[in-house]
Amino acid sequence: MNRKQKDMLRRILISAALLVCLQLISAQQFSTIDSLLFPGAGRWLRLALYLVNYYIIGWGTLKKAFKGIMNRQVFDENFLMAVATLGALALAIYENGDYAEAIAVMLFYQIGEWFESYAVGKSRRNISQLMDIRPDYANIEQEGHLIRVDPEEVEPGSVIVVQPGEKVPIDGVVAEGSSALDTAALTGESLPRDVEPGDEIISGCINLSGVLKVRTSKAFGESTVSRILELVENAGERKSRQEDFISKFARVYTPAVCYSALALALLPPLVRLLFMGLAPLWGVWLYRALTFLVISCPCALVISIPLSFFAGIGGASRAGILVKGSNFLEALSKTDCVVFDKTGTLTQGVFEVEGIHHSTMEEEKLLEYAALAESASSHPISRSLQKAHGREPDRSRVEDIREISGAGVLAIVDGRQVAAGNDKLMKQLGVEYKDCHSVGTIIHMAVDGKYAGHILISDMIKAHAKAAVAALKELGVRKTVMLTGDSEAVAEHVASRLGIDSFYSRLLPGDKVEKLERLLAEEKGGGKLAFVGDGINDAPVLARADIGIAMGALGSDAAIEAADVVLMDDDPLKIAKAIKISRKCLGIVYENIIFAIGIKLACLILGALGIANMWLAIFADVGVMVLAVLNAMRCLLVYKL
């Protein structure tokens, strides 16, 4: 508990103890004081002690209500409680009745407030623990000794030392040492990741075994751990439709019930007096109006709905699913169509050369030309060619490299014109090429304007890709679509193996946006379209979709910027899990809305009819709020789905 919660709890305990003591002493016992002092002294002493108790427990609420009035934001729960309890107290003084009811209402209201504060604090602490990735220090080696410094003081390009059991404080590249890293706090994946010199590592991971020397590639403020924490902290700023509704509802509802309570206090007595000729019974109807005010307090809705979304976002983060706002969590629950990018999403993006066909020169020479022509590219296809070549490309042998978007590359290698790309490139150059009957990515080669053969490269389908598509269909996703720049044969092969409903092949980045626009136009009935991509090359499509999901985006700035939901590892099953989490959270939100409004309406009617008293009003306010908050906190456990 923080200091504020401790102070609140202390006031609650003191007030409760004093109330019990005062209740144990009867009004008759107080009257014996009259003979010692003056007539009525016991009554005034009893009233004074109750007022002291009211001050102890109610001063904070009265102060907030007064500030609200001064700021012209009159109608809130503090105003309702202040009017209801002061009115009940005044009525008890006037009728020389029981002051305990007014004190008890404020006491239980404060218990509810404390419980809410504790629940929200616990929710935040749990999220902090689930995302316990912020490093406290970084180790810098100076004169043979390790010195701990603030990570924010470490410049990019510095070498830091990460010892076993420590968090990696800043993104970088392993310069020395090998180890296993625990990435569970980031990805939800329990399997450690092995790293060695040359491997990129990100902040937030825990070093499990060997000592690592890491050359930092970013400043601390730009590193993965900072970006993730900022994303989670700012997620509450984007409100869902339900949260907006509750905020607007409270702004209209609270004044409405205040005026209704005023009408309940005035109109029935006036009707009795003016039209029926009966005693107005002001006290009875004032009591009913005050009870009506206590019951009407919208705490349960105003508190539990935002808490449900906040806890849901925190729970999802433990599973390695970062949602940028409760509006995206809500949209995710309505996903009706999922559109996949192929490479890196459904396939591993790890390409391997499987064969060389129709070569007019030595296969090794053809592969060398292809690797040199592609040496300036970081595309997975280029890396696979260089890997198959087996030697570091000598860039001095290559001149005038030109990339033809969506087709391939042209380059001068050893003075010869080399073209490497798909059939579009061959057609542009007017080179006759030969088709390949194998399924995979085909790199056609032309040397000095003549066809020289083609290289077959295949991408491996991810282990869980098929299960991920099946899981989406089990969740009721109506349509699955795949977009790819690969050939129709490759696209058809992957789509049929995974059970994807339809696919579009040979697409340039602009074509993907166009196809997505058409798919969005087909969506009806409030269904949402989610696009799943790697978050780096698919930023325009991610931004255009109803929900952009960046997959396997660990450490990718582009992914975190472009997407609405970021899956921190490469497991496509996380897509279905994200939808399950969103639906569970929305279910809890609707449970709280129905439960709170239902109980409130029933108790309001009973209060207006005089059947409900202040004690039932306390349950309708504080009891319902406590139950709704407890229900909302179930969202913290959604990562277990």
Query: Distance between CA 578 and CA 331 in Å, rounded?
Result: 11
The SS3 of residue 26 is: coil
Answer yes or no: are the C-beta atoms of 321 and 581 closer than 8 Å: yes
- How far is it, in rounded angstroms, from Cα 82 to Cα 77? 8
Q: Is the separation of the CB atoms in 272 and 279 below 8 Å?
A: yes
d(CA 127, CA 323): 13
Report which DSSP code applies to 158.
Answer: -
For 309-346, give one letter per residue: b (16+ CB within 10 A) or e.
bbbbbbbbbbbbbbbbbbbbbbbbbbbbbbbbbbbbbb
Strand partners of residue 339:
481, 531
- DSSP H helical segments within 131-234, as ranges? 184-187, 224-234
Q: What are φ and ψ of residue 604, in 5° steps?
A: -60, -45
Q: Which residues pair with 403 in a beta bridge?
A: 409
Please give the Cα distance from 492 to 496 (Å, whole number): 6
Joined together, the tokens standing for residue 216 give 């930092």
Q: What CA–CA distance (Å, rounded) separates 141 from 212?
A: 12
Annotation marks residue 546 as catalytic? no
Are 444 and 424 contacting, i.e. CB atoms less than 8 angstroms apart?
no
Per annotation, catalytic residue among 182, 336, 341, 564: 341
In 222-372, beta strands by DSSP E: 321-323, 335-341, 347-357
Task: Record the tokens describing residue 389, joined without a space.
Answer: 């070549």
Helix or strand (DSSP H, E) at 174: strand 172-176
Instruction: Give per-residue burial for 18-54: e unless 16+ CB within 10 Å, then b.
Output: bbeebeeeeeeebeebeeeeeeebbbeebbebbeebb
The CA-based angle 608-609-614, given to 5 degrees, is 65
Cα separation, 563 vs 531, in Å, equals: 9
Q: How many CA within 13 A on the CB side of residue 486?
A: 29
Taking the C-alpha atoms of residue 335 and residue 337, their distance in angstroms, rounded to an integer, is 6
List 27's β-bridge partners, or say none: none
The torsion defined by the Cα of 625, 230, 343 and 403, in degrees rounded to 10, comes to 150
Strand order through the sheet with 159-162: 145-149, 138-142, 159-162, 212-216, 172-176, 200-201
* Distance, CA of 450 to CA of 64 (rounded, Å): 84
Nearest CA to 186 out of 315, 311, 348, 319 is that of 319
Q: Kindly state the tokens that stand for 456.
A: 């077959």
Q: What is the C-alpha to C-alpha distance for residues 142 and 144, in angstroms, rounded to an integer? A: 5
Q: What are phi and psi of 56, to 5 degrees?
A: -60, -45
Task: Retrieve residue 124's tokens.
Answer: 């935040």
Look up tokens 């007022």; give the residue.
51
Cβ atoms of residues 304 and 596 within 8 Å: yes
In angstroms, the CA 504 to CA 515 distance is 8
Active-site residues: which are they? Answer: 341
